[in-house]
């Protein structure tokens, strides 16, 4: 696949424990809830409004419960499997199967990819070829947007390790000016997120420890879009070493 094609895919930065991936637009919990809320606001006294409000309330409770899960400081296949199993238990306790499919289809795919990649990284040399083949076969069975995202991630990981001047020359040669502009935009987006994260952490650290849990959702909403909250919470724990504070 050409570099220009991959870089043209609309991307949103998502943290997976074990790597930062650039994912194209796909259904997310944040977008699904936003659509439900928009419908509710445009149809006052509609039974769907009550359902949307109830779903949002359960989702807020779910996010709060999920934020209390321990993010492993030492990444391994075992620690990731435990974390993802705990997340899945919370999903099943909080939502119907139909709601889970609507809200968490993307999350589940990304978790499976993370586990498969981690298993490959930890495997013995004699097992790596088989696991790599199984990973490639599994990817062929996934939606197009997910396969493009995975290929995009691997490409960008390789580009990120190159000298900036050589990287720009390669992009210009293979994808033209549009590919160069797209890469610059991605880097600006990443820099903007890092600046937001720095500001968020600074404001959070100024709060008394007993007030952080109470004001967590308000603080997140002021600095980030809902779709970024899980990433921010995970980065907060990794940076500040607070596995159980939220």
What is the Cα–Cα distance from 19 to 23, expressed in whole angstroms?
A: 12
56 or 245: whose pLDDT is higher? 56
**Spatial distance between the Cα atoms of 233 and 246, rounded to a whole number of angstroms:** 9
Contact in structure between 174 and 3 (CB atoms under 8 Å)? yes
Banded pLDDT at 19 (limits 50, 70, 90): very low
Q: Count CA atoms within 13 Å of residue 133 on its CB side.
A: 4
pLDDT for 223 equals 92
Residue range 171-183: average pLDDT? 81
What distance, in Å, lies between the first and last C-alpha atoms of the chain?
42
| Count of beta carbons in the 10 Å neighbourhood of residue 138 | 13
Residue 44 confidence (pLDDT): 59
Q: Which residue did the predictor score with more confidence, 246 or 122?
A: 122
pLDDT at 42: 58
Q: What is the model's pLDDT at position 138?
A: 94
At 210 the pLDDT is 73
Which pLDDT score is estimated for 48?
80
Residue-wise pLDDT for 20-65, tens only, equals 333 343 444 555 565 555 655 555 567 788 888 888 888 888 888 8
Q: Is the pLDDT of residue 152 over 90?
A: no
Q: Which whole number is the average pLDDT over 161-165?
A: 83
pLDDT of residue 81: 93
Per-residue pLDDT for 143 more than 50?
A: yes
Q: What is the pLDDT of residues 193-244, one digit of tens each?
A: 889 999 998 888 888 877 777 788 888 889 998 878 877 877 776 666 544 4
d(CA 77, CA 57): 33
pLDDT at 7: 44
Task: Report the range out of 60-74, 109-123, 153-167 with the highest average pLDDT.
Answer: 109-123
Closest CA to 143 of 110, 119, 186: 110
CA distances from 212 to 72, 145, 240 (A): 21, 37, 13
pLDDT in tens, 63-115: 888 877 887 778 899 999 999 999 999 999 999 999 999 888 888 998 999 89
Mean pLDDT of 172-177: 82
What is the pTM (predicted TM-score) of this model? 0.58
Of the candidates 143, 140, 79, 157, the residue with the CA atom closest to the CA atom of residue 114: 79
User: What pLDDT is attached to residue 24?
Assistant: 40
């Amino acid at each position: 696949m050409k570099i220009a094609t991959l870089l043209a895919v609309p991307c949103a930065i998502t943290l997976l424990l074990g790597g930062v991936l650039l994912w194209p637009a796909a259904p997310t919990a944040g977008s699904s809830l936003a659509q439900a809320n928009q419908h509710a606001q445009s149809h006052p006294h509609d039974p769907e409004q009550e359902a949307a409000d109830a779903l949002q309330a359960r989702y807020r409770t779910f996010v709060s419960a999920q934020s209390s899960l321990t993010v492993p400081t030492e990444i391994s296949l075992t620690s990731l499997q435990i974390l993802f199993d705990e997340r899945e238990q919370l999903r099943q306790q909080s939502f119907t199967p139909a709601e889970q499919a609507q809200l968490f289809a993307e999350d589940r795919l990304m978790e499976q990819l993370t586990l498969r990649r981690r298993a490959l990284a930890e495997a013995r040399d004699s097992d790596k070829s088989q696991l790599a083949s199984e990973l490639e076969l599994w990817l062929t069975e996934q939606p197009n947007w997910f396969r493009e995202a995975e290929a995009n991630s691997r490409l960008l990981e390789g580009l990120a390790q190159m000298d900036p001047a050589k990287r720009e020359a390669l992009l210009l040669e293979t994808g033209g000016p549009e590919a160069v502009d797209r890469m610059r935009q991605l880097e600006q987006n990443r820099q903007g997120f890092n600046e937001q994260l720095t500001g968020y952490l600074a404001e959070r650290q100024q709060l008394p420890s007993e007030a952080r849990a109470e004001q967590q959702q308000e603080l997140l909403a002021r600095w980030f879009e809902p779709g970024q909250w899980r990433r921010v919470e995970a980065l907060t724990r990794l940076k500040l070493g607070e596995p159980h504070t939220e």
